Chains A and B, each alone.
With several copies, the nearest count.
Chain A
């Protein structure tokens, strides 16, 4: 089966990022495919490469990166939600004249259409809310 997953909560502020990761991992272990993981609302913060995880706690970003590389699915961060929450790529850095970009290279900035596209192309859609 093909799964589309959306995540709505920020790491550390909600459990959504952790639950979604564990679910994605189990999905792939079971032989399913993931069409796309869409990070929306506060979950766009998952794609921030500047955060420093405390000891003992999950460093979910690097594991998302590994999982997506190994299983070839997209980690999609919603552009409208991410700009205001300070997760920007090189293009946004230049356009808004910001001193730096901070999007993790494993993540891609996309529009909301990519959420709908993932839902339309998947057998199942599941969201991890906050």
Chain B
């Protein structure tokens, strides 16, 4: 089967439910299966990127750590919504992962290139 363009559109905060960490697990597996994977953090999903998380404080896996595994699974197209970052006062140096900020127009183009979009 040919590799597909799959975008993970991650919009949920890291600890409100298990969805954030489960969606990241899914992205990692898509990487293992050698699909053409992109990840876009948007809306409350950008909180997943924040450095210094410590899930142990509430007995949960640290989402920031799971997220940091993405590049090790050859997932290198990592994006964040510029507007979502700005609204939350998040600078790129506050983040635990190197992501490329995208304008709304760039996000529109990113979505158009996909075969499938997986949400959290």
Chain A contact residues, CB within 8 Å of chain B: 4, 6, 8, 12-15, 18, 40-42, 54, 56-58, 80-81, 84, 111-113, 115-117, 119-122, 125, 127, 129
The answer on a CB contact under 8 Å between A18 and B1 is: no
Name 15 extra pairs, CB < 8 A, besides A14-B17, A41-B22, A42-B17.
A4-B116, A6-B118, A13-B18, A15-B16, A40-B22, A56-B55, A112-B25, A113-B29, A113-B32, A116-B30, A117-B1, A117-B33, A120-B33, A125-B115, A125-B118
CB nearest neighbor in A for B32: A113
The answer on a CB contact under 8 Å between A58 and B59 is: yes
Q: From residue B57, how far is it (CB to closest CB) to chain A in Å?
A: 11
With contacts A13-B17, A14-B16, A127-B118 known, is A115 near B26, CB below 8 A?
yes
Supply 22 A–B pairs (Cβ within 8 Å), ascending by A. Answer: A8-B19, A14-B17, A15-B15, A40-B22, A41-B22, A54-B61, A56-B55, A56-B60, A57-B60, A57-B61, A58-B59, A80-B22, A81-B22, A84-B18, A111-B29, A113-B29, A115-B29, A116-B30, A119-B115, A120-B1, A120-B2, A127-B118
Q: Determine whether B103 belongs to the interface, using a CB cutoff of 8 Å to chain A.
A: no
The answer on a CB contact under 8 Å between A119 and B4 is: yes
Q: Please, which residues of chain B bring their CB within 8 A of the CB of A111? A: 29
- Contact pattern, B 16-39, Cβ under 8 Å of A = 1, otherwise 0: 111100100110011011010000
Interface residues on B, range: 20 to 34
A25 to B92, CA, bound (A): 39
A119 to B31, CA, bound (A): 13
Q: Determine whether B97 belongs to the interface, using a CB cutoff of 8 Å to chain A.
A: no
With contacts A15-B16, A41-B22, A80-B22 known, is A116 near B35, CB below 8 A?
yes
